[in-house]
Amino acid sequence: MSGPSSASDTPITDRRQLVEVLASGEKPIGDWRIGTEHEKFGFRLDDLRPPTFDGERGIEALLEGLTRFGWEPYRESVDGQPARTIALLRDGASVTLEPAGQLELSGAPLETLHQTCKEVGTHLREVREVADELRLGFLGMGFQPKWRRDEMPWMPKGRYRIMRDYMPKVGQLGLDMMTRTCTVQVNLDYASEADMVKKFRVSLALQPIATALFADSPFTEGRPNGYLSYRSHIWTDTDADRTGMLDFVFEDGFGYERYVDYLLDVPMYFSHRDGQYVDASGKSFRKFLKGELDVLPGALPTLRDWNDHMTTAFPEVRLKKYLEMRGADSGPWNRICALPAFWVGLLYDDAALDAAWDLVKDFTLAERHALRDGVPKQALTLPFRDASVRELAIEALKISHAGLRRRARADACGSDESGFIEPLLEIAEAGQTPAERKLALFHGEWNGSVDPVFREFAY
């Protein structure tokens, strides 16, 4: 979930302002940046249970402990209660909380993958130092492997209370999405509307490839769940009004205006007014634009409202002032770095972007949906045309690797960024996802227990 909004309180009086928000994301190539986000599950070392928000070993104590590294606390009051620390801010980055206390780093916009991986490594070291003092650990996977939904804590954030009440009305698995999933994603820039459209289409068509390569959520409540990326499956029964593959992106004439139309049809969750969240769940932003929202009679939305509303759509690729790649399960440090490497190699080099478009441009709507629907269970083994997703993944990885080489962004030792994609090449060449490796351990040396995952795969 997104952190505190920094958008203005300027009233929206014309629909063109909504289009201009997206257009304002256009940047010259020299200003393109990489913003990486990743989430992770906290657990107590003694009993493996997720930490609550309160208490001397709670999530708030962890956040307060991280302020020793120069993070500034962001506090919020819910229902008139004293304000609590729910996020941290530093140098364009933030640390925020998912609904059940999953800890998220939303990284600063950075120029190279070398900087991205340094940022991730620094964050994990800081978290480890404080967590060790609190006898906590953190795990990167796509789905909570052990605990039931009713055993997960809830964080005191106003927007989450509204979502918690609304989710069961529109899907069976929305509360699981909120409390028991973790992802890694990357936010990337575009130069123009045409550039956005091409990148959107390529990344949407190839998002199932990322899902397959990063598949790492095979357990539910201590047992195999029949999926390799159960996190990805959960999105298919969360809320059909705000999820999915966005077929209209591939239609002639797609651009900023069409995406605004889509967002206007996504039901609202809330409006943040005077420090409080007003429950507007299920209501129409179009009516809000006319001052006809019954919970805020006569009020017009602000750019802050629009910014918040954009974050409540959850398609496989999301457009804000940049494109967000949303298809991957969370994982260890090297895969956190590999996810932005995969997409930067494909989208930030013209030759690679052209090659990637050639790879996907003749995919039919049915094929795109077959990929999206099939990879949660079958991942790399899913049949596709005369081969499988594994072969498609290898081809996409080759294109990305070449794009990273041509970018030629070297570190102090002279190494370019292509090394960051190696973990994905190894997965594709072996034809075995992280989920399948954990399943083999579960059925082998772990003797049918998921508990060792917290020891062997913790950060």
- How does pLDDT run across 291-334, given as a tens digit for each residue? 999 999 999 999 999 999 999 999 999 999 999 999 999 999 99
| Domain edges within the chain | 16-456
Q: Tokens 């699981």 map to which residue? A: 176
- pLDDT value for 81: 84
How far is residue 253's CA from residue 257's CA, in Å, rounded to a whole number? 9
- pLDDT value for 1: 46
Residue 184: its H or E element: strand 183-188
- How does pLDDT run across 185-203, given as a tens digit for each residue? 999 999 999 999 999 999 9
Return the closest-CA partner of residue 139 out of 51, 39, 41, 38: 41
Task: Select 16-456's CATH number: 3.30.499.10, 3.20.20.140, 3.40.109.10, 3.30.590.20.
Answer: 3.30.590.20
How far is residue 293's CA from residue 326's CA, in Å, rounded to a whole number? 31
**pLDDT band per the 50, 70, 90 thresholds, residue 274:** confident
pTM of the model: 0.96
| 63, 311, 443 from 206: Cα distances, Å | 36, 22, 32
**pLDDT band per the 50, 70, 90 thresholds, residue 80:** confident
**pLDDT band per the 50, 70, 90 thresholds, residue 7:** low
Task: With H, G, I as helix, E, B as strand and everything else as coil, classify residue 438.
Answer: helix
